Amino acid sequence: MTTRLYTHPIYLEHLTPAGHPERPDRLRAIERVLSDERFDRLDRKQSPEGDAATILYAHPEDYVERIRTVIPEEGLGRIDSDTTVSPKSWLAALTAIGAANAAVDDVFSGAADNVFVASRPPGHHAEKVTAMGFCLFNNAAIAARHAQKAHGAERVAIVDWDVHHGNGTQDIFWDDPSVLYCSTHQMPLFPGTGAKNETGAGNIVNAPLAAQTGGDVFRDAFLSRVLPAIDDFRPDLIIISAGFDAHHRDPLAEINLNEDDFDWATGELMSRAERWSGNRLVSLLEGGYDLQGLAFSVAAHVDRLMKG
C-alpha cells in the first residue's frame, strides 16, 4: 500500500489574526507528528501550484476575481468576521488546489493507492459564490470535478467528518447526482446547515450528531447512513474532507471522538475504496484546532492509510 503525502511551506504563509484557531501552527503540529520514524515509508511530495482555471470547476469567474482582488499587498484583508487573507493567501490556496488535483491524478495513475494532503486554507465551507468559515475555495469539490474531467470518473463520493457541516460542498453539488456528499457533523453548530431532510437530488446524506456525542454514536451514523450510501452509489473515487475538530479536545465544538474513532472511520472508507474504487482514496485536511488532538488524529489517520 503506497500512501503519498503532499504539503508545502507556502501553507504557513497564509496568515490569520493573533488568536485565530485556523493558524499556521496546525501544519507545524502535523509535520512534527509525521516526522516519527513509523512514517518513514510515507511517499512525501511537495505540493504543486495549481492551475487557476480549475477553480472554475466549482466557482464562477467573477467570484474567483473577487477573491483575488481582496488579497492585500501587506497586512490582513477581511472577507467576513472569521475569514481573512494575507499577501500569500492566493498562492497558498492555489497550491492547496494543486495538491488536491495532483492527489487525484496519483490515485488514477497508480502512483499511489491513497494520498493525504496537509494544506491550508481549508475548503469545505466555500460555497459557489461565498467564502466563509476560514475557506476561500472548495478544494474537495474542485478535486471531484477534476476526477470527472481529467480521468472520466462517473461517480465521486465525498465523505466529510469535520465537526462542522460542509455547507459549501453541499451547495456546489446540491443538484448533481454524479457526486455523493455524506457528512457527519454536530448540529446545531456553525454554519447551521446539514439537517437530515437536506437531500439535494438524492445525493446528499447528512448525519447530524448532538452535542456531547461520543464515538459509539458517530460509528453508528457511519454504519447506518454513510457506508450504505457509498455501497449503493459505487463510487469511482472517494474523497475525504478530513476535519479533526470532532476530537474531544477541540475548542470549537462538543463532540467527543478520539484517535481510535478516526482510525476506524478511515479503515471503513478504505474498505469501500477497495470494494468499489480500485483503492482510490484522497484525503484533504479541513478543520482541527487543538494542536495535540489534531496531531494525534492525523497520525492515526495516516497510519491507517499506510497499513491498508
Q: Could you list the active site residues?
A: 125
Dump the DSSP string for 55-93.
Answer: GGGTS-HHHHHHHHHH--SSS-EESSSS-EE-TTHHHHH
Rounded to 10°, the helix 89-109/61-70 angle is 130
For residue 155, give the C-alpha cell: 461517480
102 DSSP 8-state letter: H
Please tell me the distance from the alpha carbon of residue 308 to that of residue 187, in angstroms, as a whole number: 32
Locate 239 and state its grid cell: 474523497
H helix intervals, 152-289: 167-172, 215-221, 227-233, 259-276
- Cis before residue 188, ω within 30 degrees of 0? yes
Q: Among residues 292, 248, 240, 264, which one has the least CA distance to residue 29?
A: 292
